[in-house]
Structure 1
Amino acid sequence: MLTFRCRRSGGRAEGSGCSWQDGFGYPAAQGGAEPFFGHNVTETGFGENTWRHNVPLLGWVLGAGVLLWLGTTGLVLLSFRNPRKPHARTPAVKGLGFEEVRFPTKGGKMLYGWFVPADGEPEKRSVLILVHGWGRNVERMLPYMPFLHQAGYHLLTFDARGHGSSDRDGYSTVLKFAEDIRAAVNYLETRPEVDAGRLGVLGLSIGGAASILATAWDERLRAAVTVGAFAHPADVMRDSFSRFFLPYIPVGWTVLKFVEWRVGRSLDSIAPENAIRQRSFPVLLIHGEADRVVPVEHARRLHQSANRDNVELWIQPGRGHSNCHLEPGFDGRVVGFFDTHMAELDTVAETSAGGQGARA
């Protein structure tokens, strides 16, 4: 193998002292040449045609690399567009009466939902807002309705923007889900049968993460239950890149920056593990230990970040991302959590008014 060596004088390489040497340090034959991309190089430098022929080749290589990078990034972004599928069943299949409703959210968009009134005489009652996950719709919340309705709560569930029968609005994000939850709160304040001072929220997956954001930012929401919520959106996206063997640099990094640009905020500013520190509120974090979509470590991080006086962590062995509600005792624990924290509000009201507060 030939190497190109130069003698130095005063820290500068002397052109006339440069030559090719073989692997033993002996000078190569005069005029010897070392191939470079198929072209000869003389002892004083590269052949005059080398760069002229190879710069275009390098340009094609770089161009192909950029196209591959942009194409892969584009495909990843397309994969983040949630499927949009209207519901096929209604609360009627559970024997529940309901009202189809529509109400506005940010950007002038309209949300579709169901209001399920509690049984009994019309009166102001507590309301639980039920929030589905990414790519789902109101139908996903049907398994939760019977036991929460039986506990005496009004219920409201809705299709988040870009889902089900609600308006489209570009890419779905945890911020948009949180904004839609707050829009639901605004809507509930207009209904006479609702006690707007006692509102809770139960959310699944991204809906659970958004429930933390909305409750941290809006004091009208008193308590939250989450199932499979993530701690930070960037970490969920990085996990997705790893599952599909996509390099973080440059594809993953580009996707994250694009998302931040579209959201108009840094992902740190909308991370549930950061928001949960901003206000102390009761929260029950439920997570399947075998969850492969949002690893259980996210629940532990949320628990570490929250005010320990108000947070409960329930990790279910063997459960995954979408079956935690099948765990024995699930109904009772969720109802007990909401009953406890709604009852605390009644106690405060009784003390302040010196009278009796009605429990929903």
Structure 2
Amino acid sequence: MITLPGWRYYRNLTLLLVAGIVSLFASSRAYSEPIHWLWAVPIFYLAWLVWGAFSFTHPRRMRYWTLAGPEFASPVYEKILFKSRDGLILFGWYLPGRNRAALILAHGLGSSGLAMQVHAAPLVRAGYSVFLIDLRAHASSDGDTSTYGVLEANDIAGAVDYLLARKDVDPDKIGVLGISLGAQSALRGALQSEAIRALVLEGLGPASIEDRIRPASVQERGKKLLMLWNKIVYTVILFEQWVFNFFSGQCPTPLTAEVGKIVPRPILLIACGKHEIDCNRRFQAAAQESCTLWELPKARHAAALAYEPHEYPTRIIAFFDAAMQLNRES
């Protein structure tokens, strides 16, 4: 099912190879004559930036996960081929539940739908149908470019369309759990499909420079050296953002501007670590009353379940139960 990469992949690969060759030349000159370090260091930075942009836009495919655990031992699960809204053929695993509510699980960068089994297991036990999907350019799905969730929104919307066509799914009880890239995709997918009733977004990070830079305080504006440093940092981040956008072919809109459009649908943000928490506080402020933020300052990115193995499924299930108006006692 996997097709050959398109022109963008080969262009980006060429740029990566050129950056590598130039870096080798720069390092050889710098070691022979130390004065050349003055121009070699910027070359190394550019090569590192190109490598990062290539790795992000063309992640390695993880195809070798298998279903494991008692929740997935039943032959009831289905291997699904479905279409994104822009026509790509995507792959997913569907496990039917008992309460007619269905949840789409969207993985992070370089991962796969089956890697979300550990998140799916408690949801399956709670009676939810789960749809573990491979986003574009990942695992067994078509596509060769990852795009900050911009085009992946079509993948989420396509998964929703598939669920809406199933008779065992209540069209008013569809939610999405997304992690990192999956969180970006889920948020933008909810803008395409009103059928998404609730969102759990773990590790939602900045998509544009507006998301990365917080406004300077009144006290900071009075410090000239600090403001000069902030301008330098802003310029560097702006350049890095341009490189990543060039590689992906997309220019993501700020999530701070998009998250408010989900209102009044409920959102649960899960943020790990100080920088992620600071960023998600701005997202929460933009979404206002419909958004709840769970902060885990000591956890690593996208590792909330590993850090809170008991609290995590309890919170997630309670959130979706409330959003879907499910009564556990009935």
1:197-346 alignment to 2 at 5 Å? 197-234=172-209, 253-260=238-245, 266-267=251-252, 269=253, 271-280=254-263, 281-289=265-273, 295-308=276-289, 310-326=290-306, 327=308, 328-343=310-325
1:1-360 alignment to 2 at 5 Å? 74-80=50-56, 81-91=58-68, 94-97=71-74, 98-119=77-98, 125-234=100-209, 253-260=238-245, 266-267=251-252, 269=253, 271-280=254-263, 281-289=265-273, 295-308=276-289, 310-326=290-306, 327=308, 328-343=310-325
Structure 1 alignment gaps of length 5 or more: 1-62, 239-246, 347-357
Q: Which has the higher helix share?
A: 2
Equivalent position amino acid for 2:168 in 1: E
Contact 2:63 2:139 in 1 (8 A): yes
Instruction: With the length of structure 2 as denominator, give the TM-score of the two structures.
Output: 0.70
Contact 1:231 1:301 in 2 (8 A): no
Contact 1:114 1:156 in 2 (8 A): yes
Instruction: With the length of structure 1 as denominator, give the TM-score of the two structures.
Output: 0.65
Contact 2:145 2:248 in 1 (8 A): no
Query: Using CA pairs below 8 Å that are at least 6 residues apart, which structure has the higher relative contact order?
Result: 2
Offset at residue 250 of structure 1 (A):
8.2
Superposed CA RMSD in Å reads: 3.4
Equivalent position amino acid for 1:201 in 2: V
Contact 1:86 1:137 in 2 (8 A): yes
Q: Which has the higher strand share?
A: 1
Distance (Å, rounded) in 1 between the aligned partners of 2:295 and 2:40: 47
Distance (Å, rounded) in 2 between the aligned partners of 1:224 and 1:315: 16
Deviates most, 102-111 or 169-178: 169-178
- Once the two structures are superposed, residues 180-226 of structure 1 have per-residue CA deviations (whole angstroms, 9 ceiling, x without a partner) of 10110111122111112221000101211222222234211000011
- Once the two structures are superposed, residues 73-98 of structure 1 have per-residue CA deviations (whole angstroms, 9 ceiling, x without a partner) of 54343232312111322155644431
Contact 2:147 2:250 in 1 (8 A): no
Equivalent position amino acid for 1:182 in 2: A
**1:162 match: secondary structure:** coil
Q: State percent identity of aligned pairs.
A: 26
Moved over 2 A (4+): 63-81, 91-97, 168-173, 231-238, 247-267
Equivalent position amino acid for 1:283 in 2: I
Distance (Å, rounded) in 2 between the aligned partners of 1:257 and 1:149: 41
- Select the structure of larger CA radius of gyration: 1
- Structure 1 residues 78 and 117, CA, compared in 2 at 3 Å: closer, same or farther? same
Contact 1:230 1:298 in 2 (8 A): yes
